[in-house]
Structure 1
Amino acid sequence: MEEKKVIEDVKINKYSVACTIVASMISIIFGYETGVMSGALVLIKIYFKLNDTQIQVLGGIINFCALVGALSAGRIADHIGRRYTISLASIIFFCGSLVMGFAQNYRVLFTGRCLAGIGVGFALVIAPVYSVEISATNNRGILSSLPEIGISIGILLGYISNYVFKNLALDRSWRVMFLIATVPSIGLALGVLLMPESPRWLVMQGHLGDAKTVLSEVSNTKEEAQSRLHDIKLAVGIESNCDNDIVTLKQQTGGKGVWKELLLRPTPPVRWVLLAAIGIHFFEHATGIEAVILYGPKIFTKAGVKHDKLFLANIGIGLTKLVFITASTFYIDKAGRRRLLLTSVGGMIVALSALGFALTIVHQSHDQKVVWALWLSIATCYLYVMFFSIGLGPITWVYSSEIFPLKLRAQGASIGVAVNRATNATVSMTFLSSTNAITIGGAFFLFAGMSVLAWIFFFFFCPETKGRSLEEMEQVFTRSNKSRNVDNELPTVQK
């Protein structure tokens, strides 16, 4: 039996781009919170007279709190919709930034950081899910990469904020850095209400008329909109010839029963999807990116960069990440997820091994400067960020958001994000301690080893999803189709 293919125009719909850009604003705020903390920690440590353990806890606690946000966001997004969930995340960010900016002691600062962490969990779940659900198959890769580009923009803005405000009085500098984030947070909380709701969520609620209206706006042709609606209705269990604007669904669609289908009684395809999502989220941070983003100044200090140049070196990291993630988005739909992923991780193995070697030489030289090793440390640090940004960074969010079946997507994505934040927290809260125990070079050799495991996992467990509609993903993750789906590049019929 011939499979039905979605009829889509190759052009990217401008309205869907605008919607995804607005949704990605929440990722910019999250990225800013991550990037600004890198330099703020240096100032906060001096202001509150903190030790390395307190700094590690403050830096990493945002990720443990993000677990709460991530595990809550999926159910909330299924209940109130994707759009209102983005607005809620913005309000949480606003409160967290406000508390951190006016903190008078370590405990209050810690509380504000936790609030921001809950917002992080919401942002990491809802921005990719909304972007995936609003996009057409042919351009889903580039549009659903926009939240990751947003994170990179935010990180870079955080680094720039560090550099611009570092010379203010000590009791003002880091406060201003945090308070700046309140402005876009409240703006997005209001502005996101002008966006349309996800058409897939609307169909799950039985609002076919509203979904049809949204699809007509985010599709280039009437035929494409009808074809997309047809596939969504079949995925939800609505007869394709149903023309009612509102229908009553037999099954609950507010997110109830999803955990059982994901964790207790998953079908073989869902079990494989969950394994792939958990694996890609785990390896994104187990390979060390948070160590570079959060503790860049520490690494550059070890590499011999002078104190007055640390923040500039950090800006270089942020700029590298943004440039290469942006470049990679134009190839995700052409080259495919799997090819970029394996290339990216392969390059990371080489870069991390060289970085570990160079930092080991610097460490063993003690007070004697080994110039070539210093330069190699800096170059390989940037090279590692480059390879991460062309594949593993953006594809983690695209891949994990598109592979779950519609009913399971929001809460399935929240499980992946929870694993992501737990791994991130573990790395960020143990990195300084591990460098003391096994040296900073040894820590990056450990990340190189994790990258090898990541490459093996992606090779065997992550089939290609390029060219497949969201409603076809269960077929992609069917064991009987594994051999032909590992490298499949099924084209969609283009008008």
Structure 2
Amino acid sequence: MGSVGGEEDGSAGSMRNERNELKESNVLGDHTTCGQHLLEMRRKSSRRFCLRLCSPCFSQHCVGVMSGAIMYMQEDLKIAEVQAEVLVGCLSIVSLFGSLTSGRTSDTIDKTWTMAVGAIVIQVGTAAMTFADSFLVLLLGTLLNGISPSINRGSLTSFPEIFASIGILLGYISNYAFSGLSVHINWSFMLGVGILPSVLIGFALFVIPESPRWLIMQNRVDEARSVLLKTNGDESEVEERLAEIQLAAGANNSAEEQGQKAVWCELLSPSPSLHRMLITGIGLQCFQQLTGTEAVVYYSPEIFKAAGINGKSNLLAATVVVGVTKTSFIIVATVLIDKLGRKPLLYISSISMTVCLCSAGVSLSLLKEGIAGGAAPLAILSVCGTIAFFSAGISPICWVVTSEIFPLRYRAQAAALGAAANRLCSGLVSMSFLSKAMRFHLLVPTAKKRKGIQPLPRVFLLVGSNYFLYPIFRPCHVT
């Protein structure tokens, strides 16, 4: 009996071991399946993130296109310099309305559908510009392009700046590609290509999920949790992040409309701490455009023409160099922004841009005196250096700061104010650049009349580089 009992115990133990091994294998299999599922979700999330980043790329494509197309529009439609300034400047001026409404629009219909509205309006505006036969039709199309809701607000990091620079570069390349066509149709092709990016944005919307913040504001917490799990496989971290968003966004507040009004009231009548945040965030947005670099992007063919480059194809080829420089140094900024810090990189960028602008002024003064030598290459290198240091510092930092400096409660509205200030300053600079350049004889073909680059942007750079209210950020959850 004892041996039988021992055999029974042994067989029972063997069966228990087999069951345990089976359970362990099932658990391991479940973990493997779960890991593969999370890996697949993250792959999809990465693709969706890249598609989101394509929106600033496509939206900035028209900026690069306009710089080359404006030359041929002036020749074909007999557009005066003031009218050219209005066409270029109103693209930024009118877009401030889109920036102001994008915050409310994003909170109401989510960023994904805000992008859809923007893409549709851009398509209509681009089509109007492509088939325009007069200045008024061109202006109408430009206004439609500008007034569409800002489709890159909300992704406030340095990565959208990379894709925005790529969009400008693609615009420069398309200008060069169509420059060999007849002057009566080449600018139409340059502008017409801009319809394709907005179509691609429309297709991308089918795979881009809603933002967790918007879902929580709509009391769709389970869907928000699902979206967060696609980017982070740790459920505890997801729940912690979900609780942070709920607390910061006030998801449990039944008086949501009153909360929105309260945010605007607080922004318009800020406390001392919020006042400093607004001065820093909006001030930096203004300084970014008052440096005049966006005017350089728009009018680079005119600047290179003044530096001695002849032939429209050569001028457009030179703008491609500007686009490559801008894109390359944005990538440099992405690498350095966390290593060096925001404030040191901002100082380096501002001071270096000041030096490059002074160098451009000296080189054009040498051309004025008839000292050709290396003055023309120096002017071109100075312009590229200005763009390079702008892209390596001020350009991405102002958007990063806007995303970091404001608590989540104020972020959407404050970002809209900052973007509106940015667009307003950009429009003012773009609408006055040609007139001031002619007044200072910067863009006059005769070298004897050139007087160098106006000093006003240098003053703003010097003020911006001494902007001591800007804080030093450390890696932490500021909200």
Structure 2 length as normaliser, TM-score?
A: 0.85
Q: Is the 8 A contact 1:156 1:319 kept in 2?
A: yes
Structure 1 residues 410-449: aligned runs within 5 Å: 410-440=412-442, 442-449=452-459
The structure-2 alpha-carbon separation of the partners of 1:456 and 1:297, relative to structure 1 and needing over 3 Å to count, comes to same
- Aligned equivalents of 1:254, 1:176: Cα separation in 2: 47
Once the two structures are aligned, what percentage of the paired residues are identical?
A: 36
- Is 1:47 matched up with 2:47? no
Q: Is the 8 A contact 1:353 1:444 kept in 2?
A: no
Aligned match of 2:298 in 267, 271, 294?
Answer: 294
Aligned match of 1:463 in 438, 455, 471?
Answer: 471
- Is 1:219 matched up with 2:217? no
Q: Is the 8 A contact 1:435 1:442 kept in 2?
A: no
- For 1:183, give the aligned amino acid: L
- Is 1:252 matched up with 2:281? no
Structure 1 residues 119-130: aligned runs within 5 Å: 119=148, 122-123=150-151, 127-129=152-154
- Is 1:311 matched up with 2:316? yes
- Aligned equivalents of 1:16, 1:369: Cα separation in 2: 57
Corresponding residue of 1:476: none
Structure 1 residues 55-204: aligned runs within 5 Å: 55-119=84-148, 122-123=150-151, 127-129=152-154, 131-132=155-156, 144-204=157-217
Corresponding residue of 2:14: none
Q: Is the 8 A contact 1:288 1:444 kept in 2?
A: no
- Aligned equivalents of 1:74, 1:456: Cα separation in 2: 31
Aligned match of 1:351 in 339, 353, 356?
Answer: 356
- CA positional deviation for 1:16: 5.0
Secondary structure of 1:335's match?
Answer: coil
Corresponding residue of 1:397: 399
The structure-2 alpha-carbon separation of the partners of 1:96 and 1:151, relative to structure 1 and needing over 3 Å to count, comes to same
Larger Rg: 2
Q: Is the 8 A contact 1:355 1:444 kept in 2?
A: no
Provide the aligned length of Structure 1 versus Structure 2.
Answer: 429
Corresponding residue of 1:275: 279
- Is 1:23 matched up with 2:52? yes
- CA positional deviation for 1:234: 2.6
Q: Is the 8 A contact 1:78 1:253 kept in 2?
A: no
Secondary structure of 1:46's match?
Answer: helix
- Aligned equivalents of 1:390, 1:282: Cα separation in 2: 17
- CA positional deviation for 1:215: 1.2
- Aligned equivalents of 1:454, 1:233: Cα separation in 2: 36
- CA positional deviation for 1:253: 7.8
Q: Is the 8 A contact 2:360 2:453 kept in 1?
A: no
Deviations 1:290-347 (A, max 9, x none): 1210110111111111224111111000000001102221222333222222211121
- Is 1:454 matched up with 2:464? yes
Structure 1 length as normaliser, TM-score?
A: 0.82
- CA positional deviation for 1:172: 1.5
- Aligned equivalents of 1:215, 1:428: Cα separation in 2: 41
Q: Is the 8 A contact 1:20 1:146 kept in 2?
A: no
Q: Is the 8 A contact 1:38 1:296 kept in 2?
A: yes
- For 1:391, give the aligned amino acid: G
- For 1:106, give the aligned amino acid: F
- CA positional deviation for 1:251: 3.6
Q: Is the 8 A contact 2:292 2:457 kept in 1?
A: yes
Secondary structure of 2:257's match?
Answer: coil
Secondary structure of 1:194's match?
Answer: coil
Corresponding residue of 1:407: 409
- Aligned equivalents of 1:297, 1:197: Cα separation in 2: 41
The structure-2 alpha-carbon separation of the partners of 1:254 and 1:107, relative to structure 1 and needing over 3 Å to count, comes to farther
Q: Is the 8 A contact 2:105 2:114 kept in 1?
A: yes
Question: For structure 1, which runs of at least 5 residues remain unmatched after alignment?
Answer: 1-12, 133-143, 239-246, 472-495
Q: Is the 8 A contact 2:285 2:398 kept in 1?
A: yes
The structure-2 alpha-carbon separation of the partners of 1:231 and 1:436, relative to structure 1 and needing over 3 Å to count, comes to same
Deviations 1:222-247 (A, max 9, x none): 23222222322232346xxxxxxxx6
Q: Is the 8 A contact 2:48 2:207 kept in 1?
A: no
- CA positional deviation for 1:220: 4.3
* Bigger mean CA deviation after superposition, 283-292 or 255-264: 255-264
Deviations 1:357-393 (A, max 9, x none): 212222x22xx35122111101111111110011111
- Is 1:382 matched up with 2:384? yes
- Aligned equivalents of 2:78, 2:250: Cα separation in 1: 60
- CA positional deviation for 1:103: 0.9
